[in-house]
Chains A and B, each alone.
Chain A
């Protein structure tokens, strides 16, 4: 179980402190599949990066299975069982797909190669490719997913896995994410704007303005997204329908 207590994240920029995450309390259970959604700029990726240890929270505590991981760095959290699939994975000049998979699977080649096949990439065509700009956005996202699925994890965060992947491939990748989840013992969190993911989730968490606005069953949140919340957001922002496409 992942517990987040009274968590805040402030960043300092030219105009002073900006509050990115505001007093977040969240308990995420083992074996549950969560969809984290909400408008752009609402704090979803920031929360994911705080959980992974990439951003250091200003206040609050994080616990993984009752172990206080607040002061753990990224490496320690990775070793404790937290994994994070980047929305925009970095590219590496010279580093081969084979090298990256070898690291992610801790030397277990067969697992890594099987994951590569599972994300729809033939090992013989991709193992010796460099993880650089010669790979398309969709290919690099699949390799990113393969690196994460090669690891034994307790908590996996997928940051917009649909971004940059064609619709047909995404259906398959989503099936793979669900299959990995169904092996048990893992908390899956998918940051998404994709309707298909929202309908598959056990629970949907709605974030906006750096806060958890609502959480609950997919039916409850889905109705909110289609109704009241959408109208309220429109009034608050004064936006039109086009600006609301994000959710």
Chain B
């Protein structure tokens, strides 16, 4: 596959890739898979009944990564993809997903990624997903990720979900079920501007004893953008859960944050907190006393907050 300038820029932004990756990967562009590679321990193969791929990580695989970026560079594309990822028992790997849309025209471009992830007993996975939009056209850029995560006994998952720029509309739906001793950390970072709208629903079910989940959401709503968060943690066993939603509101932005916790076991320990507010004036002043302009200070604070 030859990468043109737009492809390269999108890949760099969403997957930190400066060229085709050396390990296992699948690159999907404008609704079809364009190149893929398997390795000795990670199989990447296309589904036969619907668009998408199966990724199978062999048990015990350590310190390997698989990249599965999606690029949309045309206007008027609606791409729906179904990916199944199985992380074998005792494996320890990183999955770098993400989608970049460059919409050059006036029609809507949309990507709906439906991921089913199974993390087998004792396995660990770091999952990094970045969403990004750009393009000189007026057409909408839409991304709707849906993730279903099944975590077996003593497995561990860390998810970084980031959407920093240029996506007009997104509806994120994340569901997870955790077995005994499983541990999940989700860190969601979101910046919306102009008239963008972002919704995020999460349902995390702690089904096994000693399972734990920590959900951290940090977001910034600028201009006339709208954000809605509904993370829910349900404890069905002696388990621990914490939900933390922290948002900075600017201009005429609107944010609704409704973290919820539900205990169905007497030994469950659940906490939640949510805060929405402007940038603190003392923070701006402090950085200005170090020589930054107000705009530079604001950028530093927002970058740090979403870091």
- Tell whether A106 pairs with B306 under 8 Å between CB atoms, given A74-B285, A89-B286, A90-B282: no
Which of chain A's residues have a CB closer than 8 A to the CB of B256? none
Closest to A85 in B: B289
- Tell whether A151 pairs with B290 under 8 Å between CB atoms, given A90-B282, A92-B283: yes
Which of chain A's residues have a CB closer than 8 A to the CB of B280? 90
CB distance from A242 to the nearest CB of B (A): 31
The interface centre, meaning the residue of A73, A94, A96 with most chain B CB atoms within 10 A of its CB, is A94
Tell me, yes or no, whether A224 is within 8 Å of chain B by CB: no
- Tell whether A95 pairs with B289 under 8 Å between CB atoms, given A75-B294, A90-B282: no
- Tell whether A99 pairs with B304 under 8 Å between CB atoms, given A74-B285, A86-B286, A93-B246: yes
Interface stretch of the complex, out of A13-21, A76-84, A161-169, A188-196: A76-84
- Tell whether A106 pairs with B246 under 8 Å between CB atoms, given A54-B285, A92-B283: no
The docked-state distance in angstroms from the alpha carbon of A75 to that of B286 is 10
Which of chain B's residues have a CB closer than 8 A to the CB of A75? 288, 291-294
Tell me, yes or no, whether A37 is within 8 Å of chain B by CB: no
| Contact in complex: A78, B218 (CB < 8 Å) | no
Tell me, yes or no, whether A103 is within 8 Å of chain B by CB: yes
- Which residues of B (106-143) have their CB < 8 Å from a CB of A? none
| Contact in complex: A92, B304 (CB < 8 Å) | yes
Tell me, yes or no, whether B307 is within 8 Å of chain A by CB: yes
Tell me, yes or no, whether A104 is within 8 Å of chain B by CB: yes
- Which residues of A (122-140) have their CB < 8 Å from a CB of B? none
- Which residues of A (96-131) have their CB < 8 Å from a CB of B? 96, 99, 103-104, 106
Which of chain A's residues have a CB closer than 8 A to the CB of B218? 93-94
| Contact in complex: A78, B289 (CB < 8 Å) | yes
Which of chain A's residues have a CB closer than 8 A to the CB of B306? 94
| Contact in complex: B300, A96 (CB < 8 Å) | no
CB distance from A235 to the nearest CB of B (A): 38
Interface residue count for A (Cβ, 8 Å)? Answer: 23
Which of chain A's residues have a CB closer than 8 A to the CB of B292? 75, 103
| Contact in complex: B291, A96 (CB < 8 Å) | no
CB distance from A78 to the nearest CB of B (A): 4
Closest to A106 in B: B291
Counting contact residues on chain B (CB < 8 A from A), the size range is 20 to 34
Which of chain B's residues have a CB closer than 8 A to the CB of A83? 289
Closest to A104 in B: B290
CB distance from B23 to the nearest CB of A (A): 27
| Contact in complex: B286, A90 (CB < 8 Å) | yes
Closest to B302 in A: A94
Which of chain A's residues have a CB closer than 8 A to the CB of B286? 86, 89-90
Which of chain B's residues have a CB closer than 8 A to the CB of A89? 286
| Contact in complex: B305, A93 (CB < 8 Å) | yes
Tell me, yes or no, whether A147 is within 8 Å of chain B by CB: yes
**Contact partner, A103, options B282, B294, B300, B307, Cβ 8 Å:** B300
Tell me, yes or no, whether B85 is within 8 Å of chain A by CB: no
CB distance from A147 to the nearest CB of B (A): 6
Closest to A52 in B: B289
Which of chain B's residues have a CB closer than 8 A to the CB of A147? 290
| Contact in complex: A92, B290 (CB < 8 Å) | no
CB distance from B289 to the nearest CB of A (A): 5
The docked-state distance in angstroms from the alpha carbon of A65 to that of B69 is 58
| Contact in complex: A95, B290 (CB < 8 Å) | no
Closest to A103 in B: B290
The docked-state distance in angstroms from the alpha carbon of A114 to that of B305 is 26
Tell me, yes or no, whether B80 is within 8 Å of chain A by CB: no
- Tell whether A94 pairs with B289 under 8 Å between CB atoms, given A75-B294, A99-B300: no
CB distance from B225 to the nearest CB of A (A): 20
The docked-state distance in angstroms from the alpha carbon of A63 to that of B105 is 57
The docked-state distance in angstroms from the alpha carbon of A75 to that of B295 is 11
| Contact in complex: A74, B301 (CB < 8 Å) | no
The docked-state distance in angstroms from the alpha carbon of A78 to that of B286 is 11
CB distance from A83 to the nearest CB of B (A): 7
Chain B residues with a Cβ under 8 A of chain A: 218, 246, 280, 282-283, 285-294, 300-301, 303-307
* Interface contacts beyond A74-B285, A75-B288: sample of 10 additional A-B pairs, CB < 8 Å, sorted by A: A84-B289, A86-B282, A90-B282, A90-B286, A94-B218, A94-B303, A103-B291, A103-B292, A103-B300, A106-B291
30 contacts between A and B (CB under 8 A): A54-B285, A54-B289, A73-B288, A74-B288, A74-B289, A75-B288, A75-B292, A75-B293, A75-B294, A78-B289, A78-B290, A79-B291, A83-B289, A86-B282, A86-B286, A90-B283, A90-B285, A90-B286, A92-B283, A92-B301, A93-B304, A93-B305, A94-B303, A95-B300, A99-B300, A103-B290, A103-B292, A103-B300, A106-B291, A151-B291
Chain A residues with a Cβ under 8 A of chain B: 52, 54, 73-75, 78-79, 83-84, 86, 89-90, 92-96, 99, 103-104, 106, 147, 151
